[in-house]
Structures are given as C-alpha cells and as structure tokens.
Chains A and B, each alone.
Chain A
Amino acid sequence: MAWTGNTGGGQQMAHMQMMYYPTPAVESSSGDEVAEAVVNFLKWLYHFINTNEIYHVENMYEDGFYKISEFYFKDKPWPAPEVVQEITEEKDEQSIFMILYRELYYRHIYARLKPTLEHRFDSYSNYCELFAYLLAADEPVKIELPNKWLWDIIDEFVYQFQSFQQFKSKAGKINEEEKNMLRDEDDAWKVTAVLNILIQLTEKCNINAQLQAIEAGEPVTEDIAGEFGMKTIYTMTGFFSLVGLLRLYCLLGDYHLALSCIQHVAFKDKDMMALVPACQITANYYAGFAYFMIRKYANTIQLYQSILGYVQRTKQFFQNRSFQAEDINKKNDQMLALLAISSYFCPLRLDESVNIQIKEKHSEKVTRLQHGDMTVYDELFFIGCPKFLSPVVSENSSSPFGSSGPRGLQLQVFKAEVEQQRLIPTLRSFLKLYTSIPISKLAKFLDMHENEVRCCLMAFKHKKEIAKGHGGDQTTLDIDFYVDKDMIHISDTKIARHYGDYYVQQILKLKESNKMIIGAALTTPAVAPVTPVTM
C-alpha cells in the first residue's frame, strides 16, 4: 500500500503488513532507484518513530527490516542516508530518525558486507551522536524504542569495537593508506571511550540501585532510579549496557570487574534480561565464562544448564532469523565445550538433554579427557572461549591468536588450573571403589609417597570447596571423604535411577507424532480418520 500521508484506519494497518513483503514483480533496482517497497517501509518507519507508536516500530524492526534486507539488500547496502533523508523529507540530518537509520545502515554493512575503514569511523561517529542524544539531554527524551532494538544497538556497538581491535591487530593486512588514516583518526573506537559510554549509560538510570531494590523486593521509586531511570528507554539501555560491560571486561580478561557488573542481577527467568532472548543468552554465556576462569565450576554449570534448556525450548522462534540462529548455535556449542570441562572438574548431575548434546557434539573429546589426554584441554578451551581482546593494539602487537596474544595469555591462566587438577581425577576414580582405605594402600596404587597422597587428598578438598561457588541445590555426583590419621573414609552415595527426564522426552515425542498423524490424515481425505492414541 503506497504512502498517502493518511494514517487512519485499521484496514491500512492490515495492508501495511503486506506492503513490505517482497513482491516479485518489483525488481531490485540498481543505481539510484529505490524499490517501492523499501520507500514505503522507510516512510512508515519514519512516521511511527516520530509518533512513538512502539508496537508498530517493533513489528517493522523485527520483521520488516530483516525481510527487506534478505530480499533487496542481500549483498549490497541499504540506500545511502542522504537518499533516505530525501525520501522521508527529514530536514535535520542529525534527527533521531536519521541517527537510528544510519545505525541500521552500518549494522547491515558489518553483517552482510565488509566494512571499509571509513565505514568504521563513520559508524563510530554515529554511535557517539546516538549516545550523546540520550546522555546529554537535560530531561528524559520523549522517544521510545522496542527493547530488542535497544539491545541490538548496545550489542552491535561492542561488536564493532571488537571488530575494530581485530582489524588493527592484523598488521600485515593493513595497507599504507589505511595506516595513515588510523594514525590521523586515533580518537575513534578507543577502548576508554567505549567503556566510558557504557558506564555512563548505566549511571544515567542508576541501574545498580534499581537492581538492588528489585533484589530486596522493594518497589523502584524515583528516589532510587532518578528522573531518567523512571523512563523505560533509559533503564533498559542501562541494563543492556551492564551486560555489554560484562562482555567487554571478559574479553579484556578482567573477571573481577565482569562479575562485579552482575552482582545484583538475579539470572532468573522473569527478570529484565528475559525480555530479549539474545541478551539472556549473551549474559549467561559471559557470566558462566567468568566463573569458569575463577574455577567456580558449579556456578558455570548452573547457568549453562538453565540457558541451554531455554534455547532448546525456544529454538523454533529463532528458525526464521538465519543470522541470529547461527549466533545462538555458536554460543550453544561454546557452552557445551566449557560444560564438558566443568563437569569433569566438578561432577554434578546434568540434565539428560544437556548430556545428550555434549555427547553429540564432543563425545570424542570427552573420552580423551577421561583418559587423561592433556592436549584436549587446549582444543576445548579454544572452542569455548570468547574472542579475547587487548585494550591497546599497536602496529607491533603480536597476533591475537599467538601464544602471547590476548587468547594465549588467558589460555596460560587456564592451563595452570589444568596442571593443578592433574592428579585429582585419578584419585577420585580410586576412592570411588572403596568406603574406607588406608593411605599406605592408596599410595601403592597411585605409585606415590604417602605424604604426597596426603597432600593430594587435601588438594581434592580445596578444589572442591572452591568449585562449589554459591552452593545451590545441585546434585553432586562427586564422592566425599575425610581422613582419620592414616585411614580415609569415603561416602557411599547412591544415585537412584532418574527416569523422569527420559519419560518426559518420550511423552513429548509421542505427542508430536500424534500431531503429525492427525495432520496427515486431515489433508488426505481418501484415508479414514485416525483416532489418536490416547495417553
């Protein structure tokens, strides 16, 4: 439906849903012509953003933008900002609509094409404009935006910074002209600037104070949140910035500040991050990774189990967004790799579905782990870890994937733990076989001196205590023991066979099969109706 300037009527709304669906008759034009569907999309988006009709903005953003990109701009950029300004008759090139459009424009380039250095700098300036619009305002801005869009802005901002650092560190692939540009524009994408923006966004709405109030079960009043914090756009941007900081600190190897970001975040199903699934997955992944690096494996396992379950349950909603699904699958695999290591160091009961996934993805590696193969740790770590960054990248920096690059440094920290855990699995497997055993006998089995065994027993206890983390009610599969002079007494924990999970899986499968059978029966009229199998 073409833009007529008239916005009344539900009928127009229904048609509007159709108008930006790709119509085969209109060809994707080259040169300066912009397809009609795209023009309509832009005009409607402009209208809805300016009238704050957030429901429609959300629809257009989540559905329309993606579909139009897929059909018209699969391998070329969206129309240049100047063209869009003309189409929408927006006079001010720094209006919020234009800033938001440019954000989408550059995001598309990063996702589907290769950004040039100029794109990187321009995108950075645009982000500065966007955040200045929010932060420099004397009173809260009137505009409202869907949560998903706010999260994507922050997520993309951190991603583009990451991309810039990685670009700079590939010293060999930068040509002379680019090197000169980098030297001239050395203000763009500085790590301190990026951190500064995120920190200011969290402070603008007093997000930490708000989270503390929520934790304590108190209502969030203006005293706590401040004038800006009472508006959703500021609170949600502040919260998403907190997750952005969590991610950035992890990438820089600062797990202390990473964990301090989320100290008041509850990680429950019903809290703020659940509003945007991608945010929930990112937050859980990085939080779990930070706990993993400080050896609190129980926390990692708890977070990853629940988020992996969540991803399984909501898989179907991501199917129609191919690049998002790809992202989520990647995080899924990363978490499985880290879970494989975590549950080896800290045996806790894992859900059946998670166990199956680990077996499917990494069964060969898990077997090698259990056989004491030391090389598999590097492999699993490289799969599971994020793309670490160094805050300062000079022309002489070592490659990011070299042994002294940011990833290599974190690997060394992890390998120290691997070395410290080396004797523990063997000890565990021997102790499992007994309810009591003298130290001298164990020493013979392990081919160690008695005092070495004593130290090893203490190390087992020490590591186990650390891995426990906040505790919680996770079922441990691990043995426990105490030492009475020269005798070790070991716990006799029996685990009842768990049938429940398996039954639930099978029941749901049967339900699906029934659905299919009935569906097939209804569409083939020649076949007599089938009575469904009742439970």
Chain B
Amino acid sequence: MVLSPEQQFEEMREEAYFCMEGLGRLNPEKVDFYIDYIKFQVEHGFYDGDANLNILKLYQFSPDLITRSSIDIVHLILVKALMQLPKEDYVFCRAQLSQDMIDDNLTKKIDDVATLLETCLFPKFWSVVQEEKIFSEMAGFVEAARCFICHVIQLTYKNIEIDFLKQLLGPLSTDQEFDEILERHSWEVNGDSVFIGHKEEMVESKEIVEKMPIEVVRPLLAIR
C-alpha cells in the first residue's frame, strides 16, 4: 500500500517524537533518520521544527557526525526555519551553529536574507532571494514569505498604495494571484489604494493611570 505524503509525514513525525523523548534526542545513530526526514519536509512542503533543530543539536554534541555535506543540511534547516516568521524558529537554530557553519558563504547569504525580512526591506528581499537556488528550490518558500509580509502589512496599514503593495509582495505571475491574496485577507481595492483594515482605535487618546498592587501597599497597612 502506497502512503500519501501526508500519511508518510505523520509516520515520520511520530517516529521523530518518540526518538526525541528524554535523552534519546542525543542518540547520534539516529541522525540519518532526521536528515531523511528534513529532506522529505523540503520536498513535500511539511515542517517539523523540533526534529530539525535536533539535527543541529546532534552536530553540536557529536561533531564527528559532521561531514562535508552536513552544511547543506544546515542550510535547509535554516531556510525552513526562516519560513516560520514571525515565529522564533530561526533564532533558535541560529544560536546552535558553530563558527565554521556561520562562516560558510551560503549561511551568510541566508543570514542576510533573514535580516532583510526582520527589517522588512521586502523589495530588496525579493531581488536577493532570486540570486540563490536554495530559495527557489524550496517548496512553499515564496508563499511563506508572502504570508509573513502580509502579516506585517496587516499590523501597519489602514490603506496602502497598490503599486507599493505589489512591490512588497514580490514577483506575481498573474493578476489573478494578486486578487487571490486580496481575497484571502479580505482586503479591498479602493481606487489606487487597498484598504487593509480599520486601525483608528490603535491611536486613540489614552491616559495611563497608576495602579497600586496590594503587595506594594501591604507594608503600609502594618504601620500603626
């Protein structure tokens, strides 16, 4: 019986979960399983952050596992983690890298891309990302990036100019794609701008009044 990719992923996820119980996660003999697992994730567009991060942990604890091709796995792990923005997966991974891994050219490139995303320099992000194969070959990368970009737009804008919005969303193959994105987020076109959402309550005049919690006042109550 041939399992669908979803079913295969479920099986691998369960196996990974049991392998990583307690001290089991440091067992170096399982590293090949985790490597196959992430390759599967990359190919079919699934994600298991815990298992991927565990590969980095194994490299940290058992450096003799590191071969010449290990750095490629590290790159896959980093890009997959980057796709989870605004979640903190990328920082978790970044904190587990050795100096050799950091000094690698492609790692530096991935790090630059991460910075571009975190500083929201989205137009530049799209042009840099086209320079490296790893991004174009990663299933779901473009969608994940757009998801993050739309999240930030949602936080910031009430109305945004259409031209600028298109710049932020990166190369769109058809107008239909653009309309689909608008529909997914319930954004409406309004002449030359797009209405994102009402934001006025964010900037209402507020006065912050002092609160005195009881622990602070308690010592006073004891004074006769």
Q: Which residues of A contact B (CB under 8 A)?
A: 191-192, 195-196, 199-200, 203, 252-256, 293-296, 309, 349, 390-392, 398, 404, 408-410, 412-413, 416, 419-420, 423, 435, 451-452, 454-459, 461-463, 465-466, 475, 480-486, 489-496, 498-501, 504, 507-508, 511, 535
- Complex partner residue of B88 from A196, A252, A295, CB under 8 angstroms: A295
Q: Which of B41-95 contact A (CB under 8 A)?
A: 50, 53, 57, 60-63, 86, 88, 91-92, 94-95
Q: Which single member of B23, B63, B120 contacts A192 (CB below 8 Å)? A: B23
Task: Decide if A484 touches B158 in the complex (CB within 8 Å).
Answer: yes
Cross-interface CB contact of B203 among A466, A482, A499, cutoff 8 Å: A482
**Once the chains bind, are B216 and A294 in contact (CB under 8 Å)?**
no
What separation, in Å, do the CA atoms of A495 and B91 have in the docked complex?
34
Distance between B84 CB and nearest chain A CB, rounded to angstroms:
12
Question: What are 7 inter-chain pairs, A to B, with CB distance below 8 A?
Answer: A409-B98, A410-B95, A458-B153, A482-B200, A494-B206, A507-B223, A508-B220
- Chain A nearest CB, measured from B189 CB (Å): 13
B183 touches A (CB below 8 Å): no
Interface residues as binary, B120-134 with A (CB distance below 8 Å gives 1, 0 otherwise): 111100000000000
B152–A461 CB distance below 8 A: yes
Instruction: Select the residue from B22, B91, B119 with max chain A CB neighbours within 10 A.
Output: B119
Pick the 3 closest A-B CB pairs, nearest first.
A482-B199, A404-B99, A458-B120
Please determine whether B203 and A489 come into contact, CB atoms closer than 8 angstroms: yes
Measured CB to CB, the closest approach of chain A to B194, in angstroms, equals 10
Q: Decide if B217 touches A482 in the complex (CB within 8 Å).
A: no
Neighbouring A residues of B209 by C-beta, 8 Å: 496
Please, which residue of chain B has its CB at the minimum distance from the CB of A479?
Answer: B203
Cβ contact within 8 Å between A508 and B118: no
Q: Is the CB of A495 within 8 A of B95?
A: no
Q: Are B208 and A493 in contact (CB under 8 A)?
A: yes
| A255 in contact with B156 (CB, 8 Å) | no
Cβ of B136 within 8 Å of any chain A Cβ, yes or no, is no
B6 close to A (CB within 8 Å): no
Q: What is the chain B residue whose CB lies nearest that of A484? A: B158
A406–chain B nearest beta-carbon distance, Å: 10
Residues of A within 8 A of B220 (CB): 504, 507-508
Q: Check A252 against B60 for contact (C-beta < 8 Å).
A: yes
**Complex Cα gap A112–B208 (Å):** 51
Query: Which of B57, B115, B164 is A451 in contact with, Cβ under 8 Å?
Result: B164
Does B202 belong to the interface (CB within 8 Å)?
yes
B156/A458 in contact, CB under 8 A: yes
Q: Which of A200, A413, A458, A481 has the most CB of B within 10 A?
A: A458
Residues of A within 8 A of B95 (CB): 253-255, 293, 409-410, 413
Q: How far is the CA of A457 from the CA of B119 in the complex (A)?
A: 9
For B217, the closest partner residue in chain A by CB is A504
- Which of B22, B23, B95 has most chain A Cβ within 10 Å? B95
The answer on a CB contact under 8 Å between B157 and A483 is: yes
Residues of A within 8 A of B161 (CB): 485-486
Q: Write the nearest CB–CB distance from A184 to chain B, whole angstroms.
A: 21
Closest to A197 in B: B23
Quick check: B203 and A490 within 8 Å, CB to CB?
yes
Q: B160, B203, B219: which contacts A485 (Cβ < 8 A)?
A: B160
Cβ < 8 Å to A, chain B residues 9-47: 22-23, 26
CA distance A253 to B59 in the complex (A): 13
Instruction: Kindly report which residue of chain A lies nearest to residue B101, judged by CB atoms.
Output: A409
Contacts of B212 in A (CB 8 A): 500
Task: Kindly identify, within residues 176 to 210 of chain B, every residue whose CB is under 8 Å from any CB belonging to chain A.
Answer: 193, 199-200, 202-210
Chain B residue at smallest Cβ distance from A491: B203
Cβ contact of A392, chosen from B63, B208, B216, cutoff 8 A: B63
The smallest C-beta distance from B124 to any residue of chain A, in angstroms, reads 8
Q: Which residues of B contact A410 (CB under 8 A)?
A: 95
Mark B98-127 against chain A: 1 for CB-CB distance below 8 A, else 0: 110010000000010011001111110000
A256–B53 Cα distance when bound, in Å, is 9
Q: B91 touches which one: A203, A293, A485, A508 (CB < 8 A)?
A: A293
Task: Output the least CB separation between A242 and chain B (Å).
Answer: 13
Residues of chain A within 8 A (CB-CB) of B160 are 483, 485
Do the beta carbons of A420 and B98 come within 8 Å of each other? no
Q: Which residues of A contact B207 (CB under 8 A)?
A: 493-496
On whether the beta carbons of A504 and B98 are closer than 8 Å, the reply is no
Name the contact of B210 in the complex, choosing from A295, A463, A490, A499 (C-beta under 8 A): A499
- Bound-state Cα–Cα, A290 to B115, Å: 21
Q: How far is the CA of A435 from the CA of B155 in the complex (A)?
A: 18
**By the criterion CB–CB under 8 Å, are B203 and A413 in contact?**
no
Pair B120/A455 contact, Cβ less than 8 Å? yes
Residues in A with CB closer than 8 Å to B26 are 192, 195
Using A294-B92, A485-B160 as known contacts, say yes or no to A459 and B203 having CB atoms under 8 A apart.
Answer: no
Alpha-carbon separation in the docked complex, A391 to B212 (Å): 46
The answer to whether A483 touches B156, judged by C-beta atoms less than 8 angstroms apart, is yes
Q: Given the interface contacts A255-B92, A409-B97, A454-B164, does A491 sit within 8 Å of B223 by beta carbon?
A: no
Beyond the given pairs A295-B88, A485-B161, A504-B216, 20 more chain A to chain B contacts, judged by CB atoms under 8 angstroms and listed by A's residue number, are A192-B23, A293-B91, A391-B61, A413-B94, A416-B94, A416-B111, A419-B115, A455-B121, A455-B122, A458-B120, A458-B156, A461-B156, A462-B86, A493-B207, A494-B206, A494-B207, A496-B207, A496-B208, A496-B210, A507-B220
A404 to B, closest residue via Cβ: B99
Known: A192-B23, A409-B97, A504-B216. A459 touches B61 (CB 8 A): no
Given the interface pairs A455-B120, A480-B203, A482-B156, the reply to whether A494 lies near B208 with Cβ below 8 Å is yes
Contact of B219 among A349, A475, A486, A504 (CB under 8 A): A504
A462 / chain B contacts, CB cutoff of 8 Å: 86, 118, 120, 152, 155
A257 to B216, CA, bound (A): 35
A508 touches B219 (CB 8 A): yes
Contacts of A195 in B (CB 8 A): 23, 26
Kindly provide the distance from the CB of A314 to the nearest chain B CB, expressed in whole angstroms.
13
Known: A294-B91, A455-B121, A480-B202. A495 touches B115 (CB 8 A): no
In the assembled complex, the CB of B202 is this many whole angstroms from the nearest CB of chain A, namely: 5
Cβ contacts under 8 Å, A254 to chain B: 57, 92, 95-96
Q: Which residues does chain A contribute within 8 Å of B97, judged by CB atoms?
A: 409
Tell me how far the C-beta of A533 lies from the nearest C-beta in chain B, rounded to whole angstroms: 11
With known contacts A459-B120, A461-B152, A501–B203 Cβ distance under 8 A: no
Contact partners of B115 in chain A: CB under 8 A: 416, 419-420
A444-B210 Cα distance, complex, nearest whole Å: 38
